[in-house]
Structure 1
Amino acid sequence: MGVERRWSELPEARQAAAVGDFGTLLRVARTAARLTLCEAGQRCGYSAATLSRIERGRQRLSDVTVLRRLAAAFDIPPELFGLADIDGPAFHQSGPPLDRVRGEASRREGGVDPVRRREVIGGLASLVGSTLAGRSPALATPPRVITSLEDILLGGCPTPAGTVDPARLRTTLASAWSDFRACRYARLSARLPQLVAAATAGHAGAADSQRATAATTLTQTYHLTVQVLIKLHEDAMAWSAMDRAAQTARDANDPLLSAETARVSAIVLRRTRHGERAQQTLIGAAQELDETTGLSSAGQVATYGRLLATAAYTAAVGDRRDTAWELLDEAAEAGRRSGAGDGFASVDVALYRVSVARVLGDFGAAVQYARALRPDQLGNVERRARYWEDYALALHGRGAYAESFRALQAAERIAPQEVRYRPWAQQLSVALLDADRRQTLPGLRSFAARIGTPT
C-alpha cells in the first residue's frame, strides 16, 4: 500500500482523478510501477499501442469491466476510477470477481512468440460492414479499418454505416462459426471484428419485437469471440467478451443460450485461476437447465451433457479425480440420451475421456482412450485437432517421442493453423527437440522451424 499511496497522492494523480482523466491515472500508475508500455500490455492483455492511445486520451475509458481489470492489474485504487472496491460487496453482487490476470498466457507459452500469435487477432485489418454488404474489402469505399479486436471490446471502434440486415448478419455468423470449426483462425479473426461491431449495432438498433432475436445473435457472436480468444490464450480479452455475453444473454431469455453462456464463462474462469467458481458456475447452470426445461428435447439434453463434460474437465484441472470421472459418467448418460442432438453425443464424451485422463497425468489411460477413438468419428476439424493435441501430449508424457511427433504432424495435416498459432504445439515441439538430443526423429527440426518454434 505504501507505493500505491505515494503515487496516488501526487498532484498529477489527484487532479486526474478529480476530472475523470483515467488515461493520465493509468500512465502515472504505470510509470510508478516502472513498466514500459509493452510490459504493461503483457500484464493486462492489451497491446502497447492501445495503452498508449488510452493514456493520451485518444481512446476513452468508460467500460466498467475494463476499468476494473486495469485497476486490478496496476494496483489503482478503484475509487480513483469511480468504482466501488473490487473486492467489496457491490462488485460481487453484480458479477464474478475479477482478480488481476497476471500474464497466465505468457507463462504457458514456453517461448512462443506472442506477437506472431496476436497478429491473428490484431494485425489483420478488417473493414466494418464490407463482408456484410457483400463487397470485397479491397473495394470498400471509404475503408473503415479496425486494427484490433481489443478496440471493439474497449468500445473504441466505429459503428457500421447503414442498417444491419439481421438475416445477412446471421448468415455471416454461421459462416464464421464454420471457420472456427475448420480451424481457419486467420480468416476468422480477419472477419471477427466487423462481425462483433455489426452484431452490436444490430442489437442496439433492434425494435422491441426483434430485440430478443438480436440479443441471441449478439450473444452467439460473443461466444465465438471468447472461443477464439481462448484458443489464442488471450485470456484478458476473453474476460471482456465473456462479460458482454452474460449481459446480452439476459435480453434473449433463452435457457439454452444462458446455459452455453455459463459454460463459456466457466472456461474463462478456469483459465484465469478461478477453478472453484468455474465448477460452481457449470453445476449451477446444469441444475438450472434441468429445472427450467425438464430436459425434454435432444438439444436440451445435449447442452446439459456438455455442461457436465466441461465440469469434469474443470475438476480434472483441479486434480479432483473422483469428481471428474463421476461427472463424465453423467455426461456420458446425457450423450446417449441426446444421440447426435446439437452436436454432443457419446463420441464427444470419448474425446473428453482422453482429455481428462491426460490432464490428470494418467498418460497410459489417455493413450488407451485415444486409440479406441477414431478421429474421423469426430464431427469437425476443431474436434479432431483437439484429439491429436491430447493424443500427442499423452504420448509425450509416456516417453513415446516418435509417436508423439507423428501425432503432432497429423494435427498439422488436418489443421495447420491449429499448430501454427496455438501454444500447445509450440511447447510440445520444444519438449521434443529437448528430448531428441541425438536427433533420432527425422524431420523434427524442419517441422519445428516451419511452425516457428524457437530452436
Structure 2
Amino acid sequence: MHALGRGGVGGRIAYYRGVMRPKLTQERLAAAANVSLGTIRKIERGERGVSESTLEAIAEALGIDPTRLCADREPAQTRVHEALPALSAVIASYDLPEDGPVRPAHELRAAVSEAARWRLGAQYTLIARRLPDLLAELARAYRVAPAEQRAELAGLLVRAYRSADAVAYKFGAHDLSARLIELMRWAVPEADDPLLSAAVAYVRTETFFAARAHAVGQRALELALDATPATTVAEIASRGALHMRAAVVAGRARDASAAATHLDEARTLADRVLEDIYCGTAFGPESVRIHEVSVAVSLGGDHVGRALDAASEWKPPHDLPAERRSGFYIELGRAQLWSGLADDAFESLKVARRITPQHTREHPWVREDAATLRRLKRADSESLSNFAEWCAAT
C-alpha cells in the first residue's frame, strides 16, 4: 500500500518522496529542506507534528505545493485568501515601501525566478505567503537603486507582480489582479524590454476576460503584436504567445475566423522554436495544441468536436508547466461533457486535480461542470459527490 494511503502529513511526505521521487532518500530530503534527518524520520512515522515553515521547506524540496501534503489541515483556499490582504497592502504602498533589508541583485533575481517556477507549477500557497515580502523588498531596492540599476530592478518587479497576479486572478480577486497588472504596466517602460512589454500585454488579457470585454482585448493584443518583432528565438516565441492568447480571446468573442487566423500564425511561429519557457510564458508546438482545444471549446457548437479529435490523438507531455497541463484537461472535460460523455468528463477533471489541485479547485468551469455532472448522475458514485463538494460546486 502506498504511503499516501496511510493518511496524515507524514504519510503523504513519504509517498511523494518514495513513490513520486524514488531517488530522494530521507537523508537527501533532510538536506534539501534544511531539516534534521531525525525530524524527517519522526514526521514520516507520524511521531511528531509539522510546523508551517517546516512543511513549506519539505514541500519545496519535493517540488510540490504544500497543499498536497496537508489535506487534513486547513483548506488551501482559506490560507491563500487569508494571505491576500498582505498582498493588497504591499502593492498599495509600492511607491512608499517601508524601510528594511535589501539582498544583493543576484539573490533578488533568484527569488523572482523561483516565484515564476511556483506560478508555472500552480503552487499558489507559496506565492501568497512569500510574495508580499519579496515585493516590498524589490520596491525598496528600486527606490534606492542608482540609475544604472533601475532598469533591471523594474524588470524584476514586473516578473514578481506577474507571479502575484496569478494568485489574485485564479482566486477570484479580480480587482487586486487588475491593480497588479496596472503596476506591471507602470514598471515595464522603466525596464526598457520589448519582450517584457509583450508578456505584460499577454497577462493584461485577464482584465478583459474578467470584464468579458473580448473585442477590446483583441485590439490590445493586436497593438502588442504590432510592437513585437520576430527575429530572435525569444521574439518569435513572444509573438507566438500573443497569437495564442489572441486566438482564445477571439474564441470567447465567437469570432471563428479571427481565432483560426491567430492559431495559424501561432503554429507557424511554434514550428520555428522548441517548446520552452520564454519571458515567463510557455510556448512551442505543444502549447499551441493545447490552445487549439481551448479555442474550440470557447467557440462551442460544432467546434467542440475538434477539441475531442485533437485530444484523442495527443496528451500534453509531463515537461509542460503543470498549470497548462491541468488547463488542458479542464477544457477537455468541458468538451466531453457537452458531447454527452459524462464519464470521460469526470475522468478528465480528476486528472486535472491530480496535476494541480489548487488550480483545478479554483477554476470556475470545474465548479460548473462538477455541478452539472452531479445533477446528471445523482445516483452514481460517491467519488463524484466528494469531488463536487471538494471544489464547492453548487
Secondary structure, counterpart of 2:212 in structure 1: coil
Q: Which has the larger radius of gyration?
A: 1
Cα distance in 2 for partners of 1:218, 1:318 equals 32
Alignment of 1:131-150 (within 5 A): 147-150=85-88
Distance 1:160 1:310 in 2: 39
Structure 2 residue identity aligned to 1:296: T
Distance 1:453 1:163 in 2: 41
1:67 aligns with none
| Counterpart position of 1:390 | 331
Matched, 1:284 2:223: yes
> Is 1:381 the counterpart of 2:322 in the alignment?
yes
Cα displacement (A) at 1:258: 0.8
Quote the residue 2:266 is aligned against: 331
Give distance in 1, aligned partners of 2:319 and 2:258: 25
Of 92, 95, 105 in structure 2, the residue corresponding to residue 154 of structure 1 is 92
- Give the alignment of 1:19-168 within 5 angstroms: 119-124=78-83, 147-155=85-93, 159=98, 161-168=100-107
Q: Is the 8 A contact 2:333 2:348 kept in 1?
A: yes
For the residues of structure 2 that align with 1:377 and 1:333, how far apart are their CA atoms? 23
Query: Which sections of structure 2, spanning at least 5 residues, go unmatched?
Result: 1-74
Q: CA RMSD in A?
A: 2.2
Deviation at 1:378, TM superposition (A): 5.3
**Residue of structure 2 aligned with 1:219, choices 141, 146, 158:** 158
After TM superposition, give the deviation of residue 249 of structure 1 in Å.
0.2
Q: Does 1:359 align with 2:298?
A: yes
Deviation at 1:356, TM superposition (A): 0.2
Q: Point out where structure 1 has 5 or more consecutive residues left out of the alignment.
A: 1-115, 125-145
Identity of matched residues, %? 25
Aligned partners of 1:149 and 1:373: how far apart in 2?
Answer: 39
Give the Cα–Cα distance (whole angstroms) in 1 for the partners of residues 213 and 82 of structure 2.
Answer: 30
Task: Write the distance in 1 (CA, Å) between the matches of 2:271 and 2:220.
Answer: 24
CA distance in 2, matches of 1:289, 1:218: 21
Paired position in structure 1 for 2:346:
405
Task: Output the CA distance in 1 between the equivalents of 2:349 and 2:323.
Answer: 14
Note the C-alpha offset of 1:200: 1.7
Alignment of 1:122-271 (within 5 A): 122-124=81-83, 147-155=85-93, 159=98, 161-271=100-210
CA distance in 2, matches of 1:302, 1:371: 27
Say if 2:151 and 2:190, in contact at 8 Å, map to a contact too.
yes
Residues 344-373 of structure 1 show CA distances to partners (whole Å, capped at 9, x for unaligned) of: 111111000000001111222111112222
User: Residues of 1 paired with 2:275 and 2:383: CA distance?
Assistant: 39
- Over 3 Å counting, the alpha-carbon distance change for 1:117 and 1:413 in structure 2 is closer
Q: Bigger relative contact order, structure 1 or 2, given CA contacts below 8 A and separation 6+?
A: 1
Does the 8 A contact of 2:131 with 2:164 survive in 1? Answer: yes
> 1:118-171, CA deviations, whole angstroms, 9 ceiling, x for partnerless residues?
6344414xxxxxxxxxxxxxxxxxxxxx95312223228963512343221211
Distance 2:360 2:252 in 1: 23
Separation in structure 2 between the aligned mates of residue 117 and residue 268 of structure 1, nearest angstrom: 25
**Is 1:447 aligned with 2:387?**
yes
> Deviations along 1:54-76, whole A, 9 cap, x unmatched?
xxxxxxxxxxxxxxxxxxxxxxx
Task: Report if the CA contact (8 A) 1:388-1:408 is conserved.
Answer: yes
Give TM-score scaled by structure 1 length. 0.65
Q: Secondary structure at the match of 2:291?
A: helix
Aligned to 2:387, the other structure's residue is in SS state: helix
Please say if residues 76 and 125 of structure 2, whose CA atoms lie closer than 8 Å, have aligned partners that are also in contact: no
Q: How much has 1:379 moved relative to structure 2?
A: 1.3
Offset at residue 338 of structure 1 (A): 2.0
Mark the CA change 1:410 to 1:231 in structure 2 (over 3 Å): closer, same or farther: same
What corresponds to 2:240 in structure 1? Answer: 305
